[in-house]
Structure 1
Amino acid sequence: MATNERAIAKLAAIEMYQLMELAGAAAFALLRQRWSKTTSIVVLCGSGNNAGDGFVVARLAIEHGFKVQVLALTDIENYQGNADIALQKYVECGGHFSQLSTLELDHDLVIVDALLGTGIVGSVRANYGEVIEQINAVATSQKLPIISVDLPSGLDANTGNPLGHCIKADVTVTFIAIKQGMLTGQAKQYCGDIFLAGLKIDKLFAENIAADSLIINNNSCPKLIARNSCSHKGSSGFVYAIGGDKSMAGAIRLSAEAALRAGAGLVAVTCHQENQLLVAANRPELMLLTLGQGTIAQESIETSALNQNTNMINQDLEAKIAKVDVLVLGPGLGTGRYGQQHFDFAIALHEQRNIPMVVDADGLNLLAQTDHRSDNWILTPHSGEAARLLNVSVKDIEFDRFSAVKKIALRYGGVCVLKGPGTIVSNGVQTNINTSGNEGMAVGGMGDVLSGILGALILQLNNNFDAACCAVFIHGKAADIAAENGIKGMLASDLFGPLRFLVNQIDEKK
């Protein structure tokens, strides 16, 4: 945006000050729509063009009979260019300035944040940080809403990382294009509801400027391959899920059932022998495959390549495994002897037969200890697992989630799904951001359900990147539907009903 906004405005024959007027008008219109009863605002203005947008909002508010207070964090003599023009127009219509200590905070007041925009570099300066913290505290204690202009002040537009201090907005109106940092990680708790104002150049901008990231939503979610009238269980695909060490039956069960609910024709599970009854209970559609001499983790199991693991597989088991279309490795796997043995078996099977593979949970933790690489798998780390994959801290991952997801995809190959608020999908070249989902998903088992959905959708799409994008969207959308009964108390298994509905809504026939 910083590089191309001026050129596209010129191409559209729109002056930059006109864009500022359009931005301020859009912010004021949204303010009036969202808080229709308010007649009083406080506008916080920094020293750059974001302040100019704020001055436009303040002037328009005066013209509409509002009580307006403006707090400017620099001397008015310091404003330049278009921000200075907006300032002078504000003063000419009777506008004046207040000190932070003299602000009159009415009960129906709305705070307009125009302190810092996309141009901020480095940490927020101390004087700005002090104001931001005081405004956040007052807004919280007095329940005053905040609308941020273009970006919550203090947020890095590229990474979504708060730069020391950051306004916590209820609403953000952003301009021309949504900034990628607004959609993921910690930014989710600072931006509030996001609205886009195109300022009459958004379409021209999109036509001429390639996006760094794309949004996954209802319109962009890849369409699934529909079943035809002659489909049968074999043609609908066979997912093989491996995991479920002692005391972790739930993870592999959730993953396996999610694969069924998302459209897999057959699903088989390998889990610890002690878990088999728990996994199969009340879900007879799941098959159980046992590796070794009648048990799941024999002491004699080799842990090298698949051709050295022949004692794990009898002829009947070999025949079943030969039909596997997708592997899901990791839910409940553990990192002990059982986990290591089954990790090695699955990796060897994947490498020898090039079967598409989803690697999740402890499968990722074990992968981080190896140099394995594949172009035919999907890795699904949360921030902790991503940190282990890159041998960095969780703080490093969250500082720039976009960089992290690309690094994992480039180092390990294939597609990486970096889970969390605003899940990011990347193959190292293209990066997409998911828009579905909610905080009710912060419970155990949600990632296991996603791994099963991924396994099933690999069967129904032409490439792993599309499958990953579709899976994360459906996963979050199912949670949004489940959240209609409330955020708290949502279970991972609550997604199964909505999941079945959703996969039937986005196939090619719809």
Structure 2
Amino acid sequence: MNKDILPYSVWPSSNLKELEKIASKKNNITSYDLMQRAGLAVYKKICSIWPKTKHWLILVGPGNNGGDGYVVARLAYLASINVTVISSTNNQHLITDHTETNKSRQDWIDTGNKIYNVNAEWPDKIDLIVDALFGYGINRKPDKSCALLIQRANLHHAQKFSIDMPSGLNAATGAPLGEVIHANHTMSLIALKPGQITGKARDYIGKLHFSALGLENYIFNQKTSMERLDSSSIKKFLKTRIPSSHKGNHGKVLVIGGDKGFGGAIRMTAEAALRSGSGIVKVLTHKENISPIITARPELIVQELTNKLLLQKLNWAHVVAIGPGLGTRNISKHVVSEVKKICKPMLWDADALNVLASNKNKCNNRVITPHPIEAARLLEITVQEVENDRVHAAKKLVNIYGGVVVLKGAGTIVVNEVGNISFIDVGNAGMASAGMGDLLSGIIISLIGQNYSLFDAARLGCLVHGAAADAIALNHGMRCMIATDLFKYIRKLLNPEIIN
């Protein structure tokens, strides 16, 4: 998504203050010096992005994020840039609990410059707004004065740069708390936060940059249950094929679905499994879908979904995917109940999840792949509640249903029963079209059939799926993307030696 190198470790925002404190102590850095480093890193990044800006408006809050803003202001002023500082507190001499912020504020005042209050007029020729109102600690709706500053900044034509988090965005969840700065760029400091890479984050973050402020040696050696994965992570998952292998070594995959009128969904799932390296893929579907699917993809073995064949093919298969286009008729419920009895690795999606929502069961040999609406149904909460805290929703799904959960959406989350969480940092808005989830199911079940663990198959499948869409967006644009466009790039991503 950008040229900056972002870390792969992600830290819960609740742990960051302690992490920052320990890391600073081990590196013999005072909090004030760390604030100076933060301000300098932000200042340098801004200058590299917009070297010709002449008048910066810096919005500062009362905490450490505001202190970083004062450092940026002083550095810009000393470089002969016009700077206007507006404080959200309405009192430029306000004493807070943040000693370092007070000191940085005084450093700014000592340059002979003023701090204006929220009611001050904004200069006419502002070409950059630096957002230093709140950092990662905010967990409530911005107050009225801050909300007005945020609204005014968003309406202004100038570019916006947020320090650590766009003000008003929850660092733990990526959910807006009220008014939120729409940043063009954001620089994350010390560690990545979940709210920068999932949920509504992409609507507000803009291009994400990162600086560990010299604390890399300590922070990157600490273990965390959360990780960020991007397209560069694909290679580490890939396995080498044995030269003497045959089709049976690469998975006998059974996909079940496609009620009358919904043959396209199961066809895409089945073909995605083939395109992802499966040895044999069989389809059980409504009889009216058989001829169209075989005509479109003769490599698939397609038969009518009957109880007799279902039992035979469940016995034959190494792995099973059920749900795309399945429908919710009584026969669908019966099929799901039969699949539930097997002890083989499986994936449930779409209508299988709708059946599961009304007949809950826990299973440790299953991947479920709900989108937010399906997740809400499975958890018996609202979609908004899911989106307000996607990490919590994914964890709760694992606790109730077991196995591995893929909570789809912007910043897809993959969680296992041990509590490991992977944020899939690929994909784009072009994927908001029908059939994308059907492809993902096919990719994941294919990888499971190729002897990847459920967790690895889910993570690699999501990476390949999103990276393929990113390749399409790069080469052809986001608009007008359809699911089957991804096939060409899925093949390339799973064979990195052929990528130019």
- Deviation readout 1:333-377 (Å, 9 max, x if unpaired): 1112342232223223x2xxx111111111111111113211011
Which residue of the partner structure matches residue 476 of structure 2? 485
TM-score normalised over the length of structure 1: 0.90
Which residue of the partner structure matches residue 472 of structure 1? 462
* 2:308 counterpart (313, 317, 320): 313
* 1:216 counterpart (216, 226, 229): 229
Residue 125 of structure 1 deviates from its aligned partner by 1.5
Q: Distance in 1 between the 2:187 and 2:271 partners?
A: 41
**Contact 2:35/2:68 (8 A) holds in 1:** yes
Secondary structure class of the residue paired with 1:3: helix
* 1:160 counterpart (174, 187, 191): 174
Which residue of the partner structure matches residue 335 of structure 1? 328
Secondary structure class of the residue paired with 1:102: coil
Residue 462 of structure 1 deviates from its aligned partner by 3.7
Secondary structure class of the residue paired with 1:56: helix
Which residue of the partner structure matches residue 35 of structure 2? 20
Which residue of the partner structure matches residue 306 of structure 1? none
Q: Which moved more, 1:129-138 or 1:9-18?
A: 129-138
1:506 to 1:206, Cα distance in 2 relative to 1, 3 A: farther
TM-score normalised over the length of structure 2: 0.92
**Contact 1:223/1:506 (8 A) holds in 2:** no
* 1:204 counterpart (212, 218, 240): 218
Q: Distance in 1 between the 2:224 and 2:104 partners?
A: 30
1:461 to 1:234, Cα distance in 2 relative to 1, 3 A: closer
1:267 to 1:425, Cα distance in 2 relative to 1, 3 A: same
- Deviation readout 1:440-493 (Å, 9 max, x if unpaired): 000000000000000111123441111111111111000001112010000000
Q: Distance in 2 between the 1:424 and 1:443 partners?
A: 19
Q: Distance in 2 between the 1:116 and 1:335 partners?
A: 47
Which residue of the partner structure matches residue 120 of structure 1? 138
- Deviation readout 1:107-148 (Å, 9 max, x if unpaired): 6x111000011121322212211211221122xxx2x21100
Residue 95 of structure 1 deviates from its aligned partner by 2.3
Q: Distance in 1 between the 2:482 and 2:332 partners?
A: 26
Secondary structure class of the residue paired with 1:4: helix
Secondary structure class of the residue paired with 1:447: helix
Following superposition of structure 1 onto structure 2, how do residues 260-275 of structure 1 map, counting pairs within 5 Å?
260-275=274-289
Following superposition of structure 1 onto structure 2, how do residues 284-295 of structure 1 map, counting pairs within 5 Å?
284-292=298-306
Q: Distance in 1 between the 2:232 and 2:18 partners?
A: 28
Q: Distance in 1 between the 2:134 and 2:124 partners?
A: 22
* 2:155 counterpart (127, 134, 137): 137
1:506 to 1:160, Cα distance in 2 relative to 1, 3 A: farther
Residue 156 of structure 1 deviates from its aligned partner by 1.0
Q: How many percent identity over aligned positions?
A: 39
Secondary structure class of the residue paired with 2:442: helix
1:125 to 1:469, Cα distance in 2 relative to 1, 3 A: same
**Contact 1:372/1:412 (8 A) holds in 2:** yes
* 2:487 counterpart (467, 488, 496): 496
Residue 223 of structure 1 deviates from its aligned partner by 1.5
Q: Distance in 1 between the 2:84 and 2:93 partners?
A: 19
Q: Do structure 1's residue 373 and structure 2's residue 362 form an aligned pair?
A: yes
**Contact 1:410/1:427 (8 A) holds in 2:** no
Residue 321 of structure 1 deviates from its aligned partner by 4.0
- The one-letter code matched in structure 1 to 2:370 is P
* 2:24 counterpart (9, 12, 27): 9
Which residue of the partner structure matches residue 102 of structure 1? 121
Q: Distance in 1 between the 2:258 and 2:334 partners?
A: 13
Following superposition of structure 1 onto structure 2, how do residues 221-232 of structure 1 map, counting pairs within 5 Å?
221=234, 222-232=236-246
- Deviation readout 1:268-310 (Å, 9 max, x if unpaired): 1111111112222221001013233xxxxxxxxxxxxxxxxxx
Secondary structure class of the residue paired with 1:270: strand
Residue 206 of structure 1 deviates from its aligned partner by 2.5
1:119 to 1:321, Cα distance in 2 relative to 1, 3 A: closer
* 1:398 counterpart (379, 384, 387): 387
Which residue of the partner structure matches residue 361 of structure 1? 350
Q: Do structure 1's residue 253 and structure 2's residue 267 form an aligned pair?
A: yes
Secondary structure class of the residue paired with 1:240: strand
**Contact 2:286/2:305 (8 A) holds in 1:** no
- Deviation readout 1:163-219 (Å, 9 max, x if unpaired): 1121111110011111111100111111111111110003312323x3241011244
Which residue of the partner structure matches residue 11 of structure 2? none
**Contact 2:443/2:461 (8 A) holds in 1:** yes
**Contact 1:242/1:269 (8 A) holds in 2:** yes
Q: Distance in 2 between the 1:271 and 1:462 partners?
A: 26
**Contact 1:44/1:113 (8 A) holds in 2:** yes
- The one-letter code matched in structure 2 to 1:495 is L
1:69 to 1:448, Cα distance in 2 relative to 1, 3 A: same
- Deviation readout 1:388-413 (Å, 9 max, x if unpaired): 11111101101110000011011101
Q: Distance in 2 between the 1:264 and 1:95 partners?
A: 67
